[in-house]
Structures are given as structure tokens and as C-alpha cells.
Amino acid sequence: MLEILPVGTKEEQKELCEKVGIDHNPDMMAYAAYDNKNFRGISLFRIVGADCVIYKIKLVDGIDDYLASYLLAKAPLNFADICGIKTAIYMDDDKKLALDLEFLEKDGIYRLSLDGYFTTPCSRHGDKN
């Protein structure tokens, strides 16, 4: 079963970053993906002013798990929304994932309004009837 969990300590975050080959930044927060207790990947993000900034979504080399990537990106958005943050910025290289999460690109910056993102998600798609 796939689980997305907050990383509990900065030491654990550092170890997980090393496992996927990315730099550790102790100023960032992180979520980790596990499948049957096996580490699959990590997301790194920060709250910067009034924005949630997703910096990196990285899976373990050799793992191709779109759902894990998607949920690793979605978890920080949920955290930010619960904290009252209403805008997210996506800075990872996987722009397809950003678009799948409904980020909109303008002038090279991918932004997402979290206003109603989790409470009324279908309202952004308009009436299909």
C-alpha cells in the first residue's frame, strides 16, 4: 500500500535526500512515499511568505511510479491549504506533473490557487452539460 508521510526529523530528511541523490536543505519541509514500508521518493517544499513552493519531487532511481509522484506533490498542497496558504508555486522540472495538478504557467512560473482546491475541486472545470 502506498503511503505519503511527513518526514519527522531533519536527519531522516537528509538520509532520504541522499537515497535519491539530491541536496538536502534543512530549511525545507518534506514528505516521503513508501510502498509496503519501502522508500519510493521524497518531496521538498517551503512556505515562502504567502506561498507554498514545491522545489523537488524525486523518486528512487529506477522507480517509475506516477501515482507516488502525484501524491508527493499533492501532500504539500494539502498541508499549505490547511495552514491557510492559498497560492502554490511549482519549481520541479516535471512540468507535466505541474499541469496535471492544475498549475497554470505564466511567464515561466507555474502557479496554483488553492482556494477551493480541496473543498470544491470540480468547480474549476466548469459545467460540462
Q: pLDDT for 53-97, tens place per residue?
A: 999 999 999 999 999 999 999 999 999 999 999 999 999 999 999
Q: Of 16, 125, 5, whose CA–CA distance to 76 is shortest?
A: 5
pLDDT at 120: 80
**Residue 11: all three cell numbers together:** 536527519
| CA-based R_g, the chain, Å | 15
Q: Is the pLDDT of residue 21 over 60?
A: yes
Domain that holds residue 16: 2-125
Q: Report how many domains make up the chain.
A: 1
Q: Of 72, 75, 76, 3, whose CA–CA distance to 37 is shortest?
A: 3
Cα separations in angstroms, 1 against 35, 37, 44, 65, 79? 5, 8, 22, 13, 21
Tell me, what CATH number does 105's domain have? 3.40.630.30
| Residues across the chain | 129
Q: Is the pLDDT of residue 128 over 50?
A: no
Q: Report the percentage of the chain scoring pLDDT > 90.
A: 91
